[in-house]
Structures are given as C-alpha cells and as structure tokens.
Chains A and B, each alone.
Chain A
Amino acid sequence: MDTRAALASDDGVRAVYSAHGPELYRFAVRSLGDTGLAEEAVQETFLRAWQAAERFDETLGSLRTWLFAIIRNVVIDLSRARSVRPELASAGSQESETPVDDDIDRVLAAWQVEEALHKIGDEHRIALIEVHYKGRAYSEVAVDLGVPVGTVKSRVFYALKAMRLALEELGWSGDE
C-alpha cells in the first residue's frame, strides 16, 4: 500500500484510523494518563505519519509497527512538554536520571500485556488473572468458579496460547 496515498484521502485516513486508531488511543491513554492528551497524541501521530509517509518502507515492517514507533515519540514529546507525567513517572523511574525512553518502553510492554488480556476470552482471562496475577491456588479458583481443578488448569493453558497470538498481533516478539 502507498501510505502517502492512503493518508492523502479522507477514505484512506478513515480506513487507517479504523484499523489502528483505537489501539493507538488506548496506548496513549495508558501512557499519558489523560484522555485529552491522548486525543492530541493520536491526531499528532496521524499528522506526522502523513508528513513522513514517503519514508515509510513496508519491507521493514507493518504500517501498525510504524504508527506505534511514531506515537511512541509523540508520547515522549507530550510527556516532556508536561511537567507532571503520572503514568510515566509511576512506571518506576525516580526523579530525573532515568530517561523517558526507558519509561515509555516499560509502559509499552505493560500496555501490550494488558491489551492482550482484553483480547482473550473471558473464561481464559479470569482463570489467568485468578491463578497468576492474584496468585491463588488452582483448587481455590476451581471452587469459586464451580468447575473441576483440571478445567482451571486447562483454561490457564489455553489462556497462555491465546495470549501468545494476541501479543503477536500487538507487535510483541517475546522469543529472545
């Protein structure tokens, strides 16, 4: 696809937005902690994408990957422009020495997992959250859910399988 051409018409922009806009917005909200700023970030991302579209090389990666590289920079710029940055600041850095780049990558990694969790089925997500994130015993979760222990264990397995697919769709490359 010719990206410059795609972003040069309203229909093209609409198509790119409906494919990637909501995800970009959610990442912006997650990293900026402010819906108004997140909207600004998404608009700025599309503007920069259009301005730089001639430099987009689809042999190097998907349009989605490219848009996320842009919004990553936009979020950094908006965070730097703002004295208070609750989400990035709470991502682990203490005061000034940790570069914002590290924070944003940490937020991006967190967001990928959180977004993937929203994409898998309810039964799988609940099993994974109860067992892994809440650290509860399989047997306890089984009683709560009214299913055999084997079913909980099986759901956790399929949750991990589904998470893998969801993460890969989000640009995750976890196999080091």
Chain B
Amino acid sequence: MSESCREWRGDLAAAALGRLDADERVGLQAHLDGCAACRAELADITPVAAALPAADPAYVTTRSPATVPPPGLAERVLGRLAFARADERRRGRRRIGVVVATAAAAVAAAIGLLVLGASLDSSAAPARHIAFGTAPVGVNAAVDLRSEDYGTEVKLDVRGLDDGEWYWLWLTGTDGRRVNAGTFRASGHHFSTDMTSALPLSKARRIWVTDGADNVVLDAHIGPRASSQS
C-alpha cells in the first residue's frame, strides 16, 4: 500500500460497512482496479464488517468495562479440582481397603441411625444420610437431610475441622443455583449442628461447605432418591 492509499482507508471501511454513496463507490472502484494492496485491505475487513451485526446492540452501547470475575472464583476452581484429585486418589486406595471401609461405614451408619432415631419424631419423613466424599485428610463429615415444608433440614455431623474457624454450608439446586443453609463455627474435634435451607430436598443436587477464604472444604453429590425405595 502506497502512501497515497492512506486517503482511501476511510472509504474502504465505509464500503465494507455499506456506507458509500454511488459516486464514492465509483471513485473507490477506480482506485481498487489499479491497487492490489487496497483490494487486499478491503478483503481483510469485509468479513469483520459482516460479523458486526451478530452483536446485541444492548451490549454494545454500554461503555462499562468488561465484566470481571469475582475474586474468589479462581480459588473455588482450585478447590473443586483439588477435591476431584483427592477423590481420585481415594478411589485408588479404596479398592484395597474396601472391606475395612465398608465395615467402618456400616458402624458409622448404625451409630448415625441410633442418634437420629433418638431425636426424631416417629411421624417425620425419613432422613437421607450422606457422607462427604471429598473432605480434607483427617476430617470426617456426614449430613442427614430431611425434607420439610419450608425447605431442607440439615443435620451436620463433623469431626476434624479447624477449631474456632467459621464455615458456610451450601446446597446447590438442579438449576445450578447455590442456596445458603447457614454458617457455623467448628468447635472441638467433633460436633453436630442443625441448619436449614429454603431449597427443597427434591431439588438439591450438591451439598458443600466453604471456609472463610471461600475454599470448598467438604463436598458431596446428592443423587436423586434411589429407585429401589420408590
């Protein structure tokens, strides 16, 4: 492109955007016929001009800077992957320790049922017991979830969380929305607490606990109710 071609650049863009009048088009065409560089420029920007209408003008006219992700998102991504990796390692070990683990789980479940049975109104709906599949080393935690008219009752039983630390309990619904079920402060090496979330149990697909830095500490999937029970 020669120095004189600079003068044509504005018209090249106008041509690509369909903004030249008839006279201007004739003038530009006369130049293009003898200028390969300007033809190449026009070929370069024409598909860009054609792509512009894909944008929604409502999003284009805004002058606000591009949306920035919340600062905690990177850590939550890290947390999710760290637990997935830990879970994978645990599965590897589980093949070896499956008998021991099953026996331990049976004992834990039996204790859980005893504790639960003692505290329950016999007319209440049965609770769902879920152990947190992902948890830091040395932490054991499980919940009993009960469907109520006002949402989901969560009875959390946990040992090994950091003494005095604050934690947040969340449920995630089938629509991906997270709903808080309250906060608690870990005390001692073993404790239980009752919490409530407005999310109906039938719509809950995940239960998880975050710490003060918004890292995911405990995480479990809530599957749909087993079909054998229905």
CA distance A175 to B14 in the complex (A): 19
B226 at the interface (CB under 8 A from A): no
CA distance A176 to B70 in the complex (A): 37
- B221 partner residues in chain A, CB cutoff 8 A: none
A161 contacts which of B45, B54, B69, B174 (Cβ < 8 Å)? B45
Which residue of chain A is the closest to B79 with respect to CB atoms?
A43
Minimum C-beta distance from A80 to chain B (A): 10
Taking a contact as CB atoms under 8 Å apart, the answer to whether B51 and A26 are in contact is: no
Taking a contact as CB atoms under 8 Å apart, the answer to whether A47 and B84 are in contact is: yes
Taking a contact as CB atoms under 8 Å apart, the answer to whether B17 and A131 are in contact is: yes
B175 at the interface (CB under 8 A from A): yes
A174 contacts which of B9, B48, B80 (Cβ < 8 Å)? B48
A56 at the interface (CB under 8 A from B): no
B81 contacts which of A47, A133, A150, A174 (Cβ < 8 Å)? A47
B177 at the interface (CB under 8 A from A): yes
A interface majority secondary structure: helix
Q: Interface stretch among B55-63, B117-125, B145-153, B193-201?
A: B55-63
A52 at the interface (CB under 8 A from B): no
Number of residues on chain A facing chain B (CB within 8 A): 63
- A113 partner residues in chain B, CB cutoff 8 A: 51-52, 54-55, 60
A46 contacts which of B12, B48, B80 (Cβ < 8 Å)? B80
Chain A 29-40, CB-CB to B under 8 Å as 1, else 0, gives 110001111011
CA distance A42 to B73 in the complex (A): 8
CA distance A36 to B69 in the complex (A): 11
Total CB contacts across the A-B interface at under 8 A: 151
Chain B 101-125, CB-CB to A under 8 Å as 1, else 0, gives 0000000000000000000000000
- B32 partner residues in chain A, CB cutoff 8 A: none
A81 at the interface (CB under 8 A from B): yes
Minimum C-beta distance from A100 to chain B (A): 15
- B11 partner residues in chain A, CB cutoff 8 A: 153
Taking a contact as CB atoms under 8 Å apart, the answer to whether A39 and B66 are in contact is: no
- B59 partner residues in chain A, CB cutoff 8 A: 30, 110, 114
Taking a contact as CB atoms under 8 Å apart, the answer to whether B55 and A17 are in contact is: no
Which residue of chain A is the closest to B77 with respect to CB atoms?
A46
B13 contacts which of A22, A41, A157 (Cβ < 8 Å)? A157
A43 contacts which of B44, B66, B76 (Cβ < 8 Å)? B76
B35 at the interface (CB under 8 A from A): no
CA distance A47 to B84 in the complex (A): 8
A143 at the interface (CB under 8 A from B): no
- A30 partner residues in chain B, CB cutoff 8 A: 59
CA distance A35 to B76 in the complex (A): 14
- A78 partner residues in chain B, CB cutoff 8 A: 175-176
B202 at the interface (CB under 8 A from A): no
List, sorted by A's number, 21 A–B pairs whose CB atoms are closer than 8 Å.
Answer: A14-B74, A21-B74, A22-B69, A25-B69, A26-B69, A39-B73, A40-B172, A78-B175, A78-B176, A81-B175, A109-B54, A110-B54, A113-B60, A117-B55, A118-B66, A129-B61, A160-B45, A160-B48, A172-B51, A174-B50, A176-B47
Q: List 6 A-B pairs, minimum CB-CB distance, nearest first.
A: A153-B10, A157-B13, A113-B55, A174-B47, A25-B69, A160-B45
